Amino acid sequence: MTMRILVHDYSGHPFQAELSRELAARGHQVTHSYCEAYVSGKGDLSGDAENLEVRPIGVGSTIAKTRFASRLVQELRFGVQLARLARDLRPEAVLIANAPIPTLVIAAAVLAVCRIPWVLWHQDVQAVAVRSFAGRQLSVAFLAVAWLIEHGERWCARRSAAVVVIADSFVDVHRRWGTSDKVSVIPNWAPLGDIRPVERDNDWAAEHGLTGTRTLLYSGTLGLKHNPALLVRLVRRVQDRSGEQPVRLVVVNQGPATDVLRTEAQRLGVALTLLPFQPYERLAEVLGSGDVLVVLLEKEAGAFSVPSKTLTYLCAGRPVLGLMPQENLAATLVDAAEGCVMPPEEESLEDAARWVVDVLADPERQRRLGARSRALAEREFALQGCADKFEKILEAARGEIDAVVAEEILTRADRSSSVDLARR
């Protein structure tokens, strides 16, 4: 049985868009929504598939990432826009991913009033990231914000019809929140067809002067869970070990981290190419231009944030270095691909640099590691099975609301009958 489905992925990332396309291909009427104001690498949001419509929110805005009060107002406003979209579309089920808690709270409240069932696709326990950042700031105000975020996140989880988490580590959080009985674990994936291995010296590499130059490449967001200066310091150590052979750091990102990267690269004398997020249709070429692809994740993020860029890197078929906590699910995938995982700390950079230099010096090893990455992606990221699970969860969520409505109708009918009997 087909459904009217609203999928809202705040970030506009590739594999969420791929899921919407797959659901539409199965005959469901799908509206895919995202926040245009959130600057990040986007997926295929063209909306050119049958049964699929793409509807952005936050059009014409840019999120004030470094101004907390302004950002809070924006996120509340985006929640109102998302709620209006759901109210106007009247979907039979809604799936929400990556939404900031203020946005999610507004949307959840309106969906409850409108009796529209929704599923929380829990990509990150935001309270953990905010709480760790608040601890570093030693600020009462930030600690208060962390408390509010955690309670808002829990409130939303309790009001969802179902919860999809991306790793087993999330289940303990939901057990504390009293929501573990409606949790399903579906690991993230990446679009195998769109992100594929390409030649190292491709057209994109030539356009940006990267042919014939050994590169460490980072593509993706750099936010609270990252220390961008580590990237520059890593490349400085690689360069010191490489002697006269030049090594370049390529970072595809937009946001305040670019200033940190530029300043640190100038201080340490590191060759740096800084570029904004690239068109999705060229992402395979972008990643193919890296001799080693680097993932960065702060230790406070632990097991509750799985950087999707890691999954995309594996699809691209390149050696992967992860500066991340070992307990992170993405670290397990990098290990399985025979990549390198090191703690995101200054003390780890020498060992990480040694691994990179060895890989750069051995083309056959580069080829083998790249093949391992792609083979792992093809084994783990099958869309069909993931889409089957989401389809069943959304159908169950719709059925749950239908059952509640039916029970209320029967209850009202019973009351009416009792009143009629009393009158007689």
Instruction: Output the 3-class SS for 170-183.
Output: HHHHHHHHCCHHHE
Instruction: Give the pLDDT confidence score for residue 133 in this predicted structure.
Output: 56
Q: Read off φ and ψ for residue 264, nearest 5 degrees.
A: -70, -40
Q: Could you give the CA distance from residue 171 to residue 181 in angstroms, rounded to a whole number?
A: 9
Give me the pLDDT at residue 128, please. 67
Query: Which of 130, 123, 129 is CA-nearest to residue 301?
Result: 129
Provide the residue count of the chain. 424
Token pair listed for 275: 């570029």
The per-residue pLDDT for 61 is: 81
Burial state string for 334-354 with b = 16 or more CB within 10 A and e = fewer than 16? beebebbbbbbeeeebeebbe
Classify 35 as helix, strand or coil.
strand
Q: Nearest-CA neighbor of 22 among 62, 59, 49?
A: 49
Strand partners, 368: none
Side-chain half-sphere exposure of 102, counting CA atoms within 13 A: 15
Residue 304's pLDDT is what? 67
Predicted TM-score of the model (pTM)? 0.86
Question: How many CA within 13 A on the CB side of residue 323?
Answer: 29
Which burial class, exposed, middle or buried, applies to 332 when counting CB atoms under 10 A from its CB (0-12, 13-18, 19+)? middle
The domain 4-189+382-412 having CATH identifier 3.20.20.70: the answer here is no
Please give the structure tokens belonging to residue 145. Answer: 């914000």
How buried is 269 (Cβ within 10 angstroms: 0-12 exposed, 13-18 middle, 19+ buried)? exposed
**Sign of the CA dihedral 197, 199, 200, 201?**
negative
Element (H, E) at 421: helix 383-423
Kindly list the strands in the beta sheet with 292-296, ordered across the sheet, starting from the edge strand earlier in the chain: 271-275, 247-252, 214-219, 292-296, 320-323, 340-342
**Integer Cα distance of 252 and 250 in angstroms:** 7
Q: What is the pLDDT of residue 401?
A: 59
- Looking at residue 279, the DSSP 8-state letter turns out to be P
Neighbouring residues of 344: CB distance < 8 A, sequence distance ≥ 6: 227, 230, 296, 297, 298, 299, 323, 324, 325
Query: CATH 3.40.50.2000 spans which residues of the chain?
Result: 4-189+382-412, 203-379
**Inter-CA distances, 312 with 56, 82, 151, 378, 406, Å:** 23, 28, 32, 11, 44
Cβ atoms within 10 Å of 135's Cβ, excluding its own? 13
CATH class of 203-379: alpha beta
**pLDDT value of position 387:** 96
**pLDDT, block means (10 residues), the chain with 424 residues:** 95 95 97 94 90 94 78 94 97 97 97 96 80 58 80 96 93 94 95 95 97 94 80 96 90 90 96 96 97 89 75 97 90 95 94 97 97 96 94 92 49 50 47
CB atoms within 10 A of CB 305: 25
Contact between 113 and 408 under an 8 Å Cβ cutoff? The reply is no
CA distance 368 to 201: 18
Residue with tokens 């009393």: 422
